Chain A
Amino acid sequence: MTELEDIRADWAMRDQSLAAAVRVQTNLLRETLTEQRLERVRRYGAMRGVDLVVWIAFLAAFGIFLAGHFGEWKFFIPAAALQVWTIVNGVVTIREREALQAVNFGLPPTDVQRQLARLRLERARTLQWALLTGQIVWWIPLAIVTFKGLFGVDLYTVSAFMPKFMAINLGLGLAFIPVALLAGRFVGPLIADTPFSHGVIDAITGRDLAEARAIAERINSFQ
């Protein structure tokens, strides 16, 4: 008898005690499942509803602004950048959420984990893209569009220094991308002291991507 077979015999012996030791709270389960199922559907639907409303509101606001400023390129281009970012990010997020909900956990683990690894890879790419480009789009372009759209203020003409300020900020934003990639890789582990900051730095530097690829490779090598 090998060591593993010994362990199997011991496992079978211990297993006999489990039938009585694991207890299903049947009444609670019946109440919970019936009530909670409805609650889950409501809450999930509501959450998705809020996300969708916010997303559609942004799309509509930017769309109206774009239509009203067609030809005025100094306003049209920042608004178009915001609109494209919002559309792409929203579509990717919705697709990812739908795909996650559609995963059937009753299929073999190699199939399900491959699906999840692919989704994880897509999510890592999306998050990296969103974090790096978002800090450009959601700063100066948003300020230009918001001030013009809500208050009728042309930020380009507020002061003589403003165009330079905006150009410098955009330049800094673009420069941030390679700097963030390098700094995150080398200094990130030293400065990240919370799960959230770890998450952001891992997303920016592509560590999430590397981890997702490693998982996919492990699944392939297992099969």
Chain B
Amino acid sequence: MIEVLSSDVVADDRADDAKVAARFASLLEQQKRTLYKVAYIYCRDPEERQDLIQEMVFQLWRAFRRFGGRSGVATWTYRVALNVAISWRRRDGRRIRDTAPLEIVLNVAEADQAFDADSEKSQVLRALIDGLDEFSRSLVLLYLEGLDHAEIAGILGTSASNVGTRLGRIRHKLKAQIDQQGRPQT
């Protein structure tokens, strides 16, 4: 289920910069795992992944004041992170970015060790997502996150039936991949 956070993390235009920054830090603390997992799905190289996460933080910050709370914070974070990751893959990022990068404010070095384990399941997942386009990757990520079809559709901007159809195709693809190549050895 999508976790919906209390409205106190929503930016208030009247608040001064320090207060907004504090609220943003609180939001980032609650959503940091989402940023890491989106980056994990879209970027294999740990150094590039750190850069991608920095870009996500920057774009979240840019979008923060525009966020009116119409969608839940978790939905909004998924959308921003996915948009950044998809654009990153197309090298649109630098065109959108207009200034120097942020300091490393989200340290993921430990997460790479903890999450990026070389298990059989992670190898199967890696082989699957390497063969998927940018939108199918987002479907797989949101499915792995435990969201239902309607929630996935709401985040991506498509229909629940389309999500179901596409996930079905991805399941077939995964089965064919395993039948053809066998399970990876760990």
Contacts and interface: CB of A to CB of B under 8 A. Distances in A.
Interface of A: 2-4, 6-8, 10-12, 14-15, 17-26, 28-30, 32-34, 36-40, 43-44, 47, 100-101, 103-113, 116, 120, 123, 215, 218-219, 222-223
Given A3-B175, A15-B33, A106-B66, A23 B79 contact: no
Given A3-B124, A7-B124, A24-B28, A106 B80 contact: yes
Given A3-B171, A222-B135, 14 more contacts: A4-B143, A6-B121, A10-B121, A17-B114, A21-B113, A22-B107, A25-B103, A32-B103, A33-B17, A103-B96, A108-B155, A109-B86, A111-B157, A218-B134
B108 interface: yes
Contacts of B105: 24-25, 28-29, 32
Nearest to A108: B157
B107 A4 contact: no
A109 B82 contact: yes
Contact of A22 (B36, B67, B82, B124): B36
Interface in B45-104: 59, 61-63, 66-67, 71, 76, 79-80, 82-84, 86-87, 90, 92, 95-96, 98-100, 102-104
B8 to A, nearest CB: 17
B106 A25 contact: yes
Contact of B115 (A14, A32, A44, A111): A14
B43 to A, nearest CB: 15
B9 interface: no
Sort A-B residue pairs by CB-CB distance and give the 7 closest, nearest first: A108-B157, A10-B121, A110-B157, A21-B111, A17-B114, A33-B21, A21-B110
B4 interface: no
A29 B71 CA distance: 25
B25 interface: yes
A8 B103 contact: no
B102 A22 contact: no
Given A25-B105, A109-B135, A104 B121 contact: no
Nearest to A8: B144
Nearest to B178: A3
A30 B114 CA distance: 27
Nearest to A120: B92
A2 to B, nearest CB: 6
A26 B29 contact: yes
B143 A112 contact: no
Contacts of B157: 107-111, 223
A106 B63 CA distance: 7
6 contacts: A15-B37, A18-B114, A30-B18, A30-B22, A40-B99, A108-B155
Contacts of A12: 144, 146
B117 A14 contact: yes
A218 B132 CA distance: 12
Contacts of A120: 90, 92
B13 interface: no
Nearest to A222: B135
A44 B100 CA distance: 10
B86 to A, nearest CB: 6
B32 interface: yes
Contacts of A37: 17, 61
A134 B108 CA distance: 46
